[in-house]
Structure 1
């Protein structure tokens, strides 16, 4: 499978600069939950260092890791689409540093600049397509190994 598309390098220098004007540096400790499925998706991150595990709960108290994100990866896309709720959960696998973006501010920036909105939406759509394929492969592998039981 091809290497995942990275959000920031995919944007034009002007769009990247405008988006980064909204960035705030944050960190998460190892094993720290970043967000839970169903929670309010009001922000997103670009990982600078460390690793994040995206997981899906398949049955009560049973999670399957569907992707591991690292430096340069986009963390969180549910902020872009109503109802703005997380579809997955995310947990820091190691100490993580990243850039955090307030979703409302980014949507406002996009409302004022249609070319930025189009570029951001297309890039995130490409990232989502890759993630969907990765998630599908992880679930198939899990069920092949475990015979469909948790």
Structure 2
């Protein structure tokens, strides 16, 4: 699930260059690697270049529920942008690949220093959150709602 373009496509070219030069690095995504845990500090985020990552939530008395699977060009993580900067979900790699990892504090600083960049980043992340919230609702209905339930019911 993703918005129509990647974060890097959504921001102005000069901002993209600064973001990549000052706040990003290429990282491998190792199979079964746990990238973050619900409730922990959100100090990085990723744009997936290749591979796949499952996003999950803890369910008391059950195993974690997979909410969505992300892949190429998807933004992984948005909790880094909003106070208190704590992950609302967890994520682990289900297919090895590569990603661009961003230092969240550095990105927030760049966004504060450049209003145009900040607007573009916040807009993209907000659209991503809204889209994924809808997807999460649908998935939770599939997992825990009455058989055949949908958002149209």
Normalised by the length of structure 1, the TM-score is: 0.90
- Point out 4+ residue stretches in structure 1 off by more than 3 angstroms: 144-147
Distance in 1, matches of 2:56 and 2:139, equals 10
1:106 aligns to what SS in structure 2?
A: helix
Structure 1 stretches lacking a partner, 5+ long: none
Deviation string, structure 1 residues 73-123 (Cα, Å, up to 9, x no partner): 001111111111000000001113100111111111112111111110011
Give the direction of change, closer, same or farther, for the CA distance of 1:130–1:24 in structure 2 (3 Å limit): same
Corresponding position of 1:8: 8
Corresponding position of 2:64: 63
Corresponding position of 1:17: 17
Superposition CA RMSD, Å = 1.8
Corresponding position of 1:89: 90
Of 56-65 and 24-33, deviating more is 56-65
Aligned length: 146
Does residue 126 (structure 1) correspond to residue 127 (structure 2)? The answer is yes
Distance in 2, matches of 1:141 and 1:90, equals 20
Normalised by the length of structure 2, the TM-score is: 0.88
